[in-house]
Chains A and B, each alone.
Chain A
Amino acid sequence: MKRVALIGMPNTGKSTLFNRITGSHARAGNWPGVTVELASSKVLVGGHMVELVDLPGLYDLHGFSDDELVVRHFLESSRVDAIALVLNSSQLDRQLALALQVRALGVPVIALLNMTDEARRYGIEIDEPRLAAGLAMPVASISARYGTGQPEALAALARLLDAAGKASPAAVREALAPDHRREEEIESLMRSSVVVPERLSGQASDRVDRVILHPWLGLPLFFLAMLAVFQAVFWLGKPLQDGVAAAFEWTRRAALEPALALAPELLRGLLLDGVWAGIGTIAAFVPLIVLFFFFLAAVEDSGYLSRAAFLTDAFMARLGLDGRAFVMLLMGFGCNVPAIMGTRIMRDRPLRLLSMLTIPMSLCSARLQVFVFLAAAVFAPSRAPWVLFGLYLASFAAVIVTALLFRGRFASSEPFVIELPPYRMPTVRLVWMRGWVEVKHFLRRATTFIFFGVIAVWLLTHLPAGAAPAGPETIAGWIGKATQPVLGPLGIDEKLAVALIFGFVAKEVVIGAFAVIYGLEGNALASGIAGSMDWVAATSFMIFTLVYTPCLSTIATIRAESRSLSFTSLAVAWPLALAWVASFGFYQGMRALGF
């Protein structure tokens, strides 16, 4: 089997091409000498079975960013028979530098000129045979977005592999030494084979930018756009989510309950309320994640994401974050899980970790449900909206405090110099592919963790056998009592502490937990709760619920995305500490003021 590495700068459509060639059969795997997973897939190229590996986008083969190191270490440690180099046709002036660097490795290379349609619109003409001769490598024009030129390009790759000798990483290691002669070579190549007009034609992007990046209009437009995306995701997602929940409930009633009717009660409870409910929790996230990534792919693919980063960077830079983190934070107000998966667009690890630490502070829609219920139960209708508004402000404050406290520890070394690609129309195929791949990621990585978490909470609230569910005799009730020295000063009693244990699974479960713990439902539950705590205790409980710990799905996602158990522990411990301090400050402060 031959191995072909796919290399290119960011924004050259490299991954689009990879997805197009491999379908969605790629799998992420570990490679020697490399610390991140790389997507690869086996495809038939001519007569060769080829393992195609998608390497991270890089600007410079001799650079120092995380991605650049990954590519270099991969090439040094793994045998590579040929390299497919993806170049953006309208930016050959700077992309040829990478072509020369790659050529110097001594591995057979084919240059794939992508986005030829865009280059043509700019009026750029490329003399392919001359460029191929100058580069001393085959050159093929393709459009990864529309699939044109792909059969010809693969045929050229097959010919390259026919002629290729035995590959050796040792030779590559030797060749990976910097060479300063390249710059002149680029100049002469550009002069001989590429014609770039003095003034670029077809700059529709400029006209759009004048509005989108307007000094005063830019930010309000950005917020409107985000609000629209946000609304679309959750208005479309909510019915789908409810549909999934209804389907699970129906299966349970129609099939599982009759089938398990004769099983012992404890086993039946574990299977239905533990295992089945756990699968349901995971499944309910799927519609949100699919929709979120459809929209994110569309926004990213259109070129707007880097504009949003440009607009919000002034504020975010002061928090040690950047504009892309702002977009994800806003998304976190819908659901933290896809927002944390979305931080993958940041390539710098400290920056990504800091974003992952702040996103769970965003008041997600699940927490909103709890707050709407509690605020309506405890506060007068005229006051309740202000309480919700205050909680949103508290959420922003928690984000800012977290970022300011941890920006030193997760200091980003990456300079903020990002490309603003021209606006492009997102293609359905691309957007679809992105959503599908992300759901597979979520299901594969998060399922076991969430599954066992849900079962653990079920056991805590139902053992020892015979105790009333979530009652004082269960392990959870016992834990609730044990936490009183810590939670008592916050105005959170034993019953509320047990509800917090439930909320660990998913925040919206807190309301259901109230019903079980208080043994009341609906309006009776609301008045029961209003009778058992005053507004200070209720607000303190809401502040604690807002911050205390990310839900199980979020934690599973943080663990999968950070690949670090110690970071995940920090992401659980820090919000707990912050929640305690905030609630303690509020509760004791209000009591001291005489409320």
Chain B
Amino acid sequence: MSPPQSPPPASPPPASPPAGSPTRNPIAPLLESLNRDHLDPGYAEAAARKRAAAAGGPAPGPGRRPSRRLVLVVVGCVVAGGVLGVAASRTESNQTRAENTRMALREDIDRAQERQSAMESAATDLAEQLRASQAAAGAAGPVAEVTQLENQGQLTPVTGPGLRLVLNQPPAGQGQTNAVILDRDLQLLVNDLWAAGAEAISIGGVRLNTRSAIRQAGGAILVDNRPVFWPLTVEAIGNSSAMQVKFISSPSSGRFSSFAQLYGIEFDVSAQTDLRLPGGTAPEQRLAQPLSTPPTPTG
């Protein structure tokens, strides 16, 4: 990669090939020049001009004063440096702006989630009041039936003895970096809890109803589309001693125990005498209509 202005000592004649042998498209000239001519050819030309002028006479022209050249260089360098500085400051300010936007969005999400949980608890309270006033108004029989149905549908808060399971992901930076607890594992665990005789289950404070889904979105676990956070507390109400015996011998318990040994996840099972589980949200029914009208109109 010699500068193109240097006198060619042994440059191959590119224009005149040896007679008889046609040039067979040696190298694409564009790529060749990209690879060779890094310096602006103007410099070489200017140098050649100067050399010719110096050879021609000692006093070439009045316009080439050194001070003027210096001013040109300084101005050019200031402009070039200014461009670099402006670009740097602009990149910086863009970064902070993006960060601010992200923070604001996260705050919005947090606020919306807080509002959601507040409204949910308000709805539960109102339902409680409604039931109480219905009972006071003398509609005790049907209301008791409704309460029982709601209880069966996992809609009312419940309390009782049961098991508490605490799960957590393996601590980061311990060799097995890609070992994570997946939604599949949680689904198996919950299924085994039901099979062991659980009557009500909540995961991370979200009560499971008959149509709850446990899914994964990125690194977060969603229970009924609500994110739950590690460490997860799974609470199951049921006959704690019988449930514990059954659950310990279930496949998912063995699965999680081996996870704990192999990957260092947290997995604690403890029997509790008094668990309190929140009420669940009723799955929405848009199209399904009941066959017979209920005995009491909705109130």
Whether both chains belong to one complex is answered with no
B positions within 8 Å CB-CB of A: none
